[in-house]
């Protein structure tokens, strides 16, 4: 997803319950030790839900997080990768490694 020259990448992060904020979205269902679902994946956190989790002793939850990379950052990182791999340009061992790294970078665009 691209907005005004920025790339937004959705990632999943484990966040302490003391650091979660109203409006964040659960990236994984919250399940108790008996396997019972307490809150489904995709649930938007409310103040009362966060308080309930705290009272239940839940220490952390997985949330969706948006990471942004500017086009300038992307190009700088790509140039950095190209520069380092230029020394081993023709080495068959390093060619696939470079491709994988560039694919991972591209996925964050």
Query: b/e for 13-30, b at 16 or more Cβ within 10 A?
Result: eebebeebeeebebbeeb
Closest by Cα among 51, 63, 42, 44 to 18: 51
Cα separation, 31 vs 39, whole angstroms: 7
Contact 68, 25 (CB under 8 A): no
Residue 109: per-residue pLDDT: 66
Longest dimension (CA), the chain: 59
pTM listed for this prediction: 0.54
**pLDDT > 90: percent of the chain:** 64
**Residue 16, pLDDT above cutoff 90:** yes
């Amino acid at each position: 997803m691209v907005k005004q020259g920025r790339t937004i990448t959705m990632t999943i992060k484990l966040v302490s319950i003391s650091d979660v904020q109203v409006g964040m979205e659960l990236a994984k269902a919250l399940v108790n030790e008996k396997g019972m679902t307490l809150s489904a994946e995709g649930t938007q956190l409310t103040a009362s839900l966060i308080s309930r989790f705290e009272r239940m002793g839940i220490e952390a939850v997985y949330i969706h997080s948006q990471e942004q990379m500017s086009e300038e950052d992307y190009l700088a990182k790509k140039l950095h990768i190209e520069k380092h791999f230029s020394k081993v340009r023709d080495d068959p061992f390093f060619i696939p490694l470079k491709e994988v790294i560039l694919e991972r970078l591209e996925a964050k665009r």
